């Protein structure tokens, strides 16, 4: 399977970097272009013809919702995922009405981006595997089925045994901050995998994350156990 080209429309350089690095780590996707404005996005969408576009709603020269409308009116077949700090129901309703595939609320977590990408892959596979599909697949396409299997306690991509191993290790640690690299070395996980599990625990309120800018380069994510 060829990797799927993705375009990012995001004026926050930090958020754009997180998105780009996360997408490029996925074996089935790669970033073909990154834009900071509606005008730039319109030009690059025509030039690169991405299959998937990650769109921030608040942009310096307009609204990401308007960009989706514009590109659709031009016949672009790309799928769209919104990335935004906005949580107003009216905005979310507009995004749903436009057929947006997903809606990621900032601060964006690596694990949530990867989940959105996996969901898009699953969507494509269900549409293309047969000429006709059954009710179960239709329900999944329209997200009427449960996101989790009834026997699972964790979302896709989070293995219960690995999570248990991680939480048990965290119980042995003191209150000092740590990185995904520290965790990976301790319990034999890659840095990317360790980070995905830590972001899941952060979403559950079990750890907190801060950015360390005193690294002399790119900021480093440091985690702490919540009290």
Q: pLDDT averaged over consecutive 10-residue blocks of the chain (227 residues)?
A: 91 88 92 95 95 94 92 93 84 86 84 87 78 64 49 68 90 91 92 88 84 77 85
pLDDT at 148: 41
Q: At what angle do helices 180-187 and 160-172 cross, to 10 degrees?
A: 110
Measured in residues, the chain has a length of: 227
Residue 99 domain flag: yes
pLDDT at 212: 81
Residue 115 domain flag: no
Residue 124 domain flag: no
pLDDT at 146: 43
106 and 164 both lie in a single domain: no
Give Rg (Cα) of the chain.
19
Is the C-alpha dihedral spanning 151, 121, 35, 33 positive or negative? Answer: positive
E-assigned strand segments in the chain: 4-9, 29-35, 52-56, 58-59, 62-63, 79-84, 102-105, 207-212, 220-225
pLDDT at 144: 47
104 and 168 both lie in a single domain: no
Residue 52 domain flag: yes
pLDDT at 91: 83
Kindly report the CATH number assigned to the domain that includes residue 53: 3.40.50.2300
Kindly report the CATH number assigned to the domain that includes residue 186: 1.10.10.10
pLDDT at 13: 87
Q: Which domain holds residue 83?
A: 4-110
Is residue 226 within 8 A of residue 208, CB to CB? The reply is: yes
User: Considering its fold, how many domains does the chain have in total?
Assistant: 2
Residue 11 domain flag: yes
170 and 80 both lie in a single domain: no
| Tokens read off for 162 | 């690995």
pLDDT at 142: 61
Residue 136 domain flag: no
pLDDT at 139: 64
CA-based nearest residue to 100, from 86, 118, 81: 81
Residue 181 domain flag: yes
Distances (CA, A) of 143 to 109, 135, 146: 21, 12, 8
């Amino acid at each position: 399977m060829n990797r799927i080209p993705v375009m990012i429309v995001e004026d926050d350089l930090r958020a754009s970097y997180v998105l780009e690095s996360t997408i490029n780590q996925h074996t089935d996707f790669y970033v073909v272009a990154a834009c900071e404005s509606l005008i730039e996005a319109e030009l690059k969408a025509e030039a690169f013809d991405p299959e998937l576009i990650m769109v921030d709603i608040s942009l310096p020269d307009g609204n990401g919702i308007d960009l989706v409308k514009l590109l659709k009116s031009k016949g672009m077949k790309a799928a769209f995922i919104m990335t935004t700090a906005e949580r107003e129901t009216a905005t979310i309703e507009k995004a749903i009405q436009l057929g947006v595939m997903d809606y990621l609320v900032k601060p964006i977590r690596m694990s949530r981006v990867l989940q959105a990408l996996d969901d898009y892959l699953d969507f494509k596979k269900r549409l293309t595997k047969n000429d006709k599909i059954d009710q179960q697949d239709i329900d999944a396409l329209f997200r009427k089925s449960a996101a989790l299997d009834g026997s699972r306690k964790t979302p896709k991509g989070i293995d219960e045994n690995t999570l248990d191993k991680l939480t048990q290790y965290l119980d042995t640690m003191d209150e000092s901050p740590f990185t995904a690299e520290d965790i990976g070395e301790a319990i034999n996980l890659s840095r990317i995998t360790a980070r995905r599990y830590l972001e899941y625990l952060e979403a559950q309120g079990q750890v907190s994350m801060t950015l360390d800018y005193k690294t002399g380069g790119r900021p480093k994510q440091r985690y702490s156990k919540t009290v």
